[in-house]
């Protein structure tokens, strides 16, 4: 099992640390040739969606990554990563990879509440810590999207097949629930014994 982490901008090192705590090997995608390595899943970190979107295009990573997602390679987008995967961003004319049937709202909590911390349920996996930094939320999902978490009635985590997104940053807290869940998507249920 090896997980690729998109390392163009933002909080990618924190994801690598979470994976290493789970005993999972990772490597960074910084340029096109990095995609030649084999891997079981890809993480798109938080940061700035517009910057990451621009760099993905400039570095010619955009189309190959989009293709991998449509070929069902497991993908986990946090915060800006969620925006990059959204088919629609309500308050931003741009879309990026646009592979997931969700409508997001960017910088959705206003200036006062730009960053905050809470704890809420994640799927059936109990309450987990959630750190939000100038975060989006998900306003709308299609029928094939499973809602995994809400905060104040706003959707903050969801899954559609191979695609998992969180509006919060699980890599900024010690709790490994979300990464463990992603690893299960990447490796199938046979990995359960190792990482439970
Ligand atoms: N506000 C950022 C954006 O629009 C996302 C913030 C984050 O990833 N923490 O891309």
Q: Indicate the domain borders of the chain.
A: 2-195
CA–chain centroid gap for 136, Å, is 12
Q: Is the minimum distance from the CB of 81 to ligand 1 under 6 angstroms?
A: no
Task: Report the predicted TM-score, pTM, of the whole model to 2 decimal places.
Answer: 0.95
In this structure, which topology does domain 2-195 adopt according to CATH? Rossmann fold (3.40.50)
Q: What angle do CA 81, 147, 8 make, to 5 degrees?
A: 5
What are the pLDDT tens digits along the chain (196 aa)?
999 999 999 999 999 999 999 999 999 999 999 999 999 999 999 999 999 999 999 999 999 999 999 999 999 999 999 999 999 999 999 999 999 999 999 999 876 667 999 999 999 999 999 999 999 999 999 999 999 999 999 999 999 999 999 999 999 999 999 999 999 999 855 454 444 4
Q: Which atom of ligand 1 is nearest to the CA of 135?
A: 6
H-only helix segments in 29-107: 49-58, 62-70, 80-85
Give the residue, out of 6, 8, 48, with the most ligand 1 atoms within 8 A of its beta carbon, to mutate for a pocket test.
Answer: 48
Tell me how far apart the alpha carbons of residues 146 and 130 are, in angstroms, rounded to a whole number.
Answer: 19
């Amino acid at each position: 099992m090896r997980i690729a982490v998109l390392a163009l901008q933002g909080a990618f090192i924190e994801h690598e640390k979470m994976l290493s705590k789970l005993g999972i090997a990772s490597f960074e995608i910084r340029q096109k040739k990095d995609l030649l390595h084999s891997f079981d899943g890809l993480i798109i970190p938080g940061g700035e969606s517009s910057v990451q979107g621009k760099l993905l295009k400039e570095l010619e990573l955009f189309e190959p990554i989009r293709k991998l997602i449509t070929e069902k390679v497991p993908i986990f987008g946090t915060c800006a990563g969620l925006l990059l995967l959204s088919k629609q961003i309500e308050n931003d004319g741009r879309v990026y990879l646009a592979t997931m049937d969700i409508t997001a709202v960017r910088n959705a909590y206003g200036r006062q509440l730009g960053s905050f911390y809470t704890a809420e349920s994640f799927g059936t996996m109990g309450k987990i810590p959630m750190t939000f930094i100038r975060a989006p939320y998900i306003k709308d999902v299609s029928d094939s999207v499973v809602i995994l978490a809400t905060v104040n009635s706003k959707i903050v985590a969801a899954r559609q097949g191979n695609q998992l997104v969180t509006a919060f940053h699980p890599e900024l807290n010690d709790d490994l629930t979300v990464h463990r869940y992603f690893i299960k998507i990447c490796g199938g249920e046979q990995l359960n014994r190792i990482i439970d």
